Amino acid sequence: MSDLVATELDARVLTVTMNRADKKNALTHDMYSAIAGALERAHGDGRIRCVILTGAGDSFTAGNDLSDFAAGMPQGKPPVVRFLEAIVNCDKPVMAAVNGPAVGVGLTMLLHADLIYASEKATFRSPFPHVGVVPEAASSMLLPLAVGNAWANDIFLGGRVLTAAEALSAGLVSRVFPAASFMEECRKIASTVAAQAPNAMLQTKRLIRANRESVLERMRKEGAIFNEQLKSPEFMIAAAAYMQRRLPEFD
Ligand code: COA
């Protein structure tokens, strides 16, 4: 397992922490594999009744590591795909504890969490076309369903950065807690969830997430377009601009 992802099992709650604070927890291939491994473990391990996914330091995650994007995908199933499949298929309740900025896949992964809470310091942004790519993680289908077209287009097309209060009013998160007590509040809720009847919990989650096949199908469709975009001049322009800390110019 990557040391950039920390896991801790305590009282039936598995906490998975994206642990690359100096890079705002930007996700590398190894980190996706490590989180996928933790979710697969949670799925199959009867001792785990709830998973908390959070970030170290002041960020949730700045999304995919942009250098990894530029370097292309490794051979075989891309780790990001393994991660997305693992979060879609995990039968245990997954809580996203959004402690700071959630960018790109940092936002879209929330659509696969069952419980989504934000610190008052959290922000949310998924400006895919602005970085030369398209929405992933079935977010082109799930975000409009979760928050409606107006918010979804503001996020994707407008590149809008949502505050925690805006994410709450949009319905992207269900509660906002003060930063100082954030993880404590999340852990309290996770303990309550972990104490519920496990089979009833599992069946309830399966009923709520009954559209799994269409979600996976949308992910595949998005993935094909995403990969084409990654090879495009548009992405090169956006990635170079990000590295040079300036705005991209698309002619
Ligand atoms: N991939 C690689 N490195 C990243 C990264 C990413 N997605 N996001 C941040 N970093 C790195 C920065 O390059 C910087 O590295 P350096 O210290 O070696 O220069 C470090 O993390 C700190 O980032 P910085 O932007 O200076 O921090 P900030 O506090 O000003 O802003 C964020 C934090 C999360 C708001 C900002 O980094 C951000 O928006 N990143 C997202 C980038 C992105 O477009 N992601 C993909 C979307 S599809």
* 67 closest CA partner among 130, 17, 102, 23: 23
Sign of CA dihedral 184, 189, 195, 201: negative
Atom of ligand 1 nearest to the CA of 58: 29
Residue 24 CA, ligand 1 centroid: distance in Å: 6
Q: How far is the CA of 22 from the centre of ligand 1 (A)?
A: 9
Number of Cβ within a 10 Å radius of residue 153: 14
Residues within 6 Å of ligand 1 by CB: 23-24, 26, 59, 62-67, 101, 103-104, 128, 131, 242
From 19, 24, 126, give the residue whose CB has the most ligand 1 atoms within 8 Å, as the site to mutate: 24
Q: How far is the CA of 19 from the centre of ligand 1 (A)?
A: 14
- Which residue has a Cα nearest atom 37 of ligand 1? 62
Residue with CA at minimum distance from ligand 1 atom 28? 24
* Ramachandran assignment for 2, one of left (phi > 0), alpha (psi -120 to 50 degrees), beta (any other): beta
Does the pLDDT value for residue 175 go beyond 90? yes
**pLDDT tens, position by position, 60-90:** 999 999 888 777 777 788 999 999 999 999 9
From the list 2, 29, 79, the residue with the least C-alpha distance to 17 is 2
C-alpha 87 – ligand 1 centre gap (Å): 24
Edge-first strand order for the sheet with 175-177 is 5-10, 13-18, 50-55, 94-98, 115-119, 175-177
Give the Cα separation of 165 and 120 in Å (integer).
7
What does pTM read for this prediction? 0.95
Mean pLDDT of 213-223: 94
Q: Which of 13-17, 72-76, 82-86, 231-235 is predicted with the least confidence, judged by mean pLDDT?
A: 72-76
d(CA 81, CA 226): 12
Summarised one tens digit per residue, pLDDT across range 106-164 is 999 999 999 999 999 999 999 899 989 999 999 999 999 999 999 999 999 999 999 99
